[in-house]
């Protein structure tokens, strides 16, 4: 029997945190909403804006819309406090992932856009672009701030201790908000064209999995037309919000996305 050829590849540190978040997120009482938005008009308006020299990305605009709608429904992004009450933050701090190249390897690096509800889509777009262009050293694991010794130590700990850290962090909502915000937006589905939804995991009270934008035939006023449709999965913590307010929130979100609000 011949020996198979193989090689080992080291897992980058930031991927280890992803494993831990997925494990802890399995214990959250999230409701998954799989949505489809007609973004034809919104994307056309964004293209016109970019032609005028205003560099606003589609993802930055989505973050702005999400933040402004959540400002109207702040309980949707609240944390459970001692299982007896909610702690609702005035600011909407959005956690996203920016892919960076460190050495020869592309790695996912977390970035928290603070007070996204008080920033324009152009400001959010510029902040994301600055993060993409930020130079990182091999030991850096966060964007916009220097990695602390405790953060670097985290990746050297055994798995059960790392996951204990996340569980303890979630029991302290103020610390959780300072560390990772209260909203998560992941855009992994924007890479390529996938006709479907992906169900992600999160430890945030509410998170958005942005999928692909696909051209699909849609019936409008008894006429079938090609439209640009966005797939999105929303995870909402059922411990934080009940079904009726969640439906109202998603209804307003749909109206704002499809009508190009905040552009």
What pLDDT score was predicted for residue 1? 67
Cβ atoms 249, 240 nearer than 8 A? no
Residues 6+ apart with CB under 8 A from 147: 139, 140, 141
Smallest Cα–Cα separation from 207: which of 26, 19, 32, 58? 32
C-alpha dist (Å) from residue 155 to 14, 158, 184: 8, 8, 21
- From first to last of its 263 residues, the chain has per-residue pLDDT tens of 677 888 877 776 667 777 777 787 777 888 899 999 999 999 999 999 999 988 899 999 999 999 999 999 999 999 998 878 999 999 999 999 887 766 666 777 889 999 999 999 999 999 999 888 877 655 554 555 555 566 667 777 888 888 888 888 888 999 999 989 999 999 876 666 778 888 888 899 999 999 999 999 988 888 899 999 999 999 999 888 888 889 999 999 999 999 999 88
What pLDDT score was predicted for residue 82? 80
Cβ atoms 159, 20 nearer than 8 A? yes
Angle value at C-alpha 30, between 215 and 254, nearest 5 degrees: 35
Domain ranges of the chain: 13-258
**Is the domain covering 13-258 a CATH 3.30.559.10 domain?**
yes
What pLDDT score was predicted for residue 108? 76
CA atoms of 71 and 74, how far apart (whole Å): 5
CA atoms of 14 and 155, how far apart (whole Å): 8
What pLDDT score was predicted for residue 248? 94
What pLDDT score was predicted for residue 107? 73
What pLDDT score was predicted for residue 75? 93
Smallest Cα–Cα separation from 183: which of 206, 210, 211, 209? 206
């Amino acid at each position: 029997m011949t020996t198979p050829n193989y090689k080992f590849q080291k897992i980058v540190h930031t991927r280890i945190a992803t494993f831990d978040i997925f494990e802890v997120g399995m214990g959250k009482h999230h409701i998954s909403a799989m949505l489809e938005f007609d973004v034809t008009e919104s994307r056309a308006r964004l293209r016109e804006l970019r032609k005028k020299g205003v560099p606003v990305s589609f993802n930055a605009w989505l973050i702005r819309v999400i933040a402004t709608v959540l400002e109207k429904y702040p309980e949707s992004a609240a944390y459970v406090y001692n299982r007896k009450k909610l702690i609702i933050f005035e600011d909407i701090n959005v956690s996203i992932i920016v892919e960076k190249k460190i050495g020869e390897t592309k790695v996912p690096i977390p970035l928290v856009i603070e007070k996204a509800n008080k920033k324009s889509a152009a400001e959010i777009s510029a902040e994301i672009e600055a993060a993409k262009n930020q130079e990182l050293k091999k030991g850096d694991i966060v964007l916009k701030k220097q990695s602390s010794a405790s953060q670097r130590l985290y990746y050297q700990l055994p798995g059960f201790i790392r996951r204990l850290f996340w569980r303890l962090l979630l029991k302290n909502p103020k610390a959780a908000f300072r560390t990772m915000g209260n909203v998560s937006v992941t855009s992994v589905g924007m890479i390529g064209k996938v006709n479907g939804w992906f169900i992600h995991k999160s430890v945030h009270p509410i998170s958005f999995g942005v999928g692909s934008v696909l051209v699909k035939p849609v019936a409008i006023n008894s006429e079938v037309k090609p439209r640009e449709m966005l797939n999105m999965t929303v995870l909402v913590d059922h411990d934080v919000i009940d079904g009726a307010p969640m439906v109202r929130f998603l209804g307003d979100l749909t109206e704002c996305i499809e009508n190009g609000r905040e552009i």
